[in-house]
A and B are shown apart, each in its own frame.
Chain A
Amino acid sequence: MTSKVRHLSPISIFIFWGQLIYNWWIFILMGWGWLAGSVGQFKWLFLGLIILLLIIFAVIRYLRFTFSLGEQLITINSGIFLKQTRHIPYSNIQTVQEEQWIFLKPFGLENITIETAGKEEKHGEARLLTVSKSVAAEIEAYRKKSAQSQSDQLVSKVTSSATTVDSPTTYTINGSDLNRYALTSLSFLPIILGLLWLVNKIQELVPKSFLNSFNAQLVHLSLVIIIFIVFLIITIGFLISYLNVIQKYYRFTLTSAKQSLTTVRGFFQRKTVGIRLSKIQAIDFKQNVIRQLAHLSTVQSLIASNASDDENGHNLVIIPVIKETEALARSQRFVEWLPQQINENRFKFSPRAWFFIRNSVLIYLTIVAFPLVLAYFFWSVAFLYVLPFGIFLLFVGYFQGRYVAKNTGFQVVSKNLIVTQTGYLWTRRRSFIQRDKIQSIRLKQSIWMEPKKLTHIEFNLRKGNDNDAIQLRYLSVTDAETILKWYQPQVLSN
């Protein structure tokens, strides 16, 4: 049976055109600059010609780009000069992501990214721009069909549980939760740093004379103005971060059906990501300090594929924000193997907080030491300012070390489940890991740790196409042995 050969929507021409301009803008600018310098009158002609040429290219690309959905595989033809044909069997597809920019919505169109397994392959994905929303559903239907015909043992083993989840479970974020999520996000910190850098750059661009007179005024008004500017920057940074989080997780919905989870989110770009439950490597509950104080938690899944929130690497947010106490039970409705609850008192922690504090303070000391020494010898005025700042940073180091120490622990929940907890940069990460998803375990111990009966333990998990090492530092050797005993497979009877 032959399948229909289809084109993308003509709107894709605009996107192709934009991509071409994006790829060539340096050369266009260079050509423009060169012409404007030598033969000025031709520059507009040049620009017009280039734009026309790129439009023609975009149209050709559109005409040459075809795809068809066959019974067994997707075929994609592309290429302006070099004709390329790609065949993607449905069984090789890892995830299908849909992105709908807000301007595509009236046309009922969306972009589809098809991701295949291939670890080696550099371009492990194929993109169909501006296709009808029905295409994704068609692909999904074919995929299910091919999965059924192959029906590997792994799937058949779990079908009994799948039948019980006939009606899809859904979770939709409500407004106040989203609001709280955005308010407690720490993503404003990098934005503020960026803004400060920008202000600094602007100062460099402003003419010296103006700046000098400005500086003279600044001395008079200094404190008020500086406080005002800092306040303004923090407000703007916070607002940007807040709105960004809101638009990103706008109407976030999680649906679970037949061995897969689907999340839909976003305002400007409505993004649909579907993952199979078997691809989930671990479930993380993350809390930054603010959320810890507010008893809120974020649930993410670590997945062995590239479909993810761009911000977080290979983590897919399952529930953006939820009350700490409800987090586990709510997630359990989507991910079966999670426990309904765990006993907080059964966590085993590192016995020696001092080492975490020492390391953290040492790291901050090396950061502080260099500018301090430099200031001491070459700029003694600044030294007086740098010194208190340095001491402040050492305190930060002390508290950070203490924070990490307090949050490093684990708990063996069952024969097949362990919960690890680590702290980093004022964020607590609690991971629920199934035994068969731990690729290997590594113990690390220096000769000085031996008499103190301490060891680091590292759990290697697959994340995207890479490794994610969850390291619990300075655990007691007996605890590490418990973990190893739990992890090591029992000798097979035969």
Chain B
Amino acid sequence: MKEQPLPSKIKSVWRLTAFLTTAVEIIIILGLVAAHQLWRWPLWLIWLGIILSIIGTAIDFTLIPYRYAFSHYQITSTAVYLKSGYIFRKEESIPITRIQNVTLEAGPLLQHWNLQKVNVETASTTHTIAGGTPETAEQLQNQILHLAKEARDDL
């Protein structure tokens, strides 16, 4: 398998997540307004909330294409490679023979787009593919099983 980006549907998941975060922030701001009316909480708290949530939302939304563009993964017959980040880059390599578990996770949002968070666990670390199609997950699991049957990486 070649190095490939995450499934493009993950962008929709991130967008919706960012949207929901904003919604929660708006509720908090409304709560602050109510607190201002009822118990005379200071007005600047509301302004602070508004400014922070505007900045947060703007960052969240503008970063989505970048986050997407710089997240890659690759599953070869012997290893899993993960790349992420632009300003702070991270490259991880995990030989298949070190993988102890592959756990799949999907909250309601990921489920809706038929995606799964793939956690690749070694004896000491956990590496995450933020969104994988069921095929990816299956491929990974098959490969691990396959390798377990074969002679292990000769060491």
Contacts and interface: CB of A to CB of B under 8 A. Distances in A.
Please say whether chains A and B are actual partners in one complex: yes
Interface of A: 304, 416, 434-436, 438-447, 450, 460-463, 466-468, 484, 487-492, 494
A108 to B, nearest CB: 39
Contacts of B78: 488-492
Most B CB within 10 A of own CB, among A434, A442, A447, A461: A442
Interface in B91-148: 91-98, 122-125, 127
Given A460-B125, A467-B124, A492-B150, A446 B77 contact: no
Contact of A440 (B86, B87, B122): B122
A484 B93 contact: yes
A434 B98 CA distance: 13
Contacts of A442: 90-92
B64 interface: no
27 contacts: A434-B155, A436-B153, A436-B155, A439-B98, A439-B124, A440-B122, A441-B92, A442-B91, A442-B92, A443-B90, A445-B88, A445-B89, A446-B88, A446-B89, A447-B88, A460-B122, A460-B125, A462-B123, A466-B124, A484-B93, A488-B93, A489-B78, A489-B95, A489-B96, A490-B78, A491-B77, A492-B153
A375 to B, nearest CB: 31
B26 interface: no
Contacts of A462: 123-124
A379 to B, nearest CB: 31
Contacts of A467: 124-125
Contacts of B97: 436, 489
A198 B127 CA distance: 45
A223 B79 CA distance: 66
Contact of B89 (A447, A468, A487, A490): A447
A492 to B, nearest CB: 6
A197 B125 CA distance: 39
A466 B126 CA distance: 11
Contacts of B150: 492, 494
Contacts of B90: 442-444
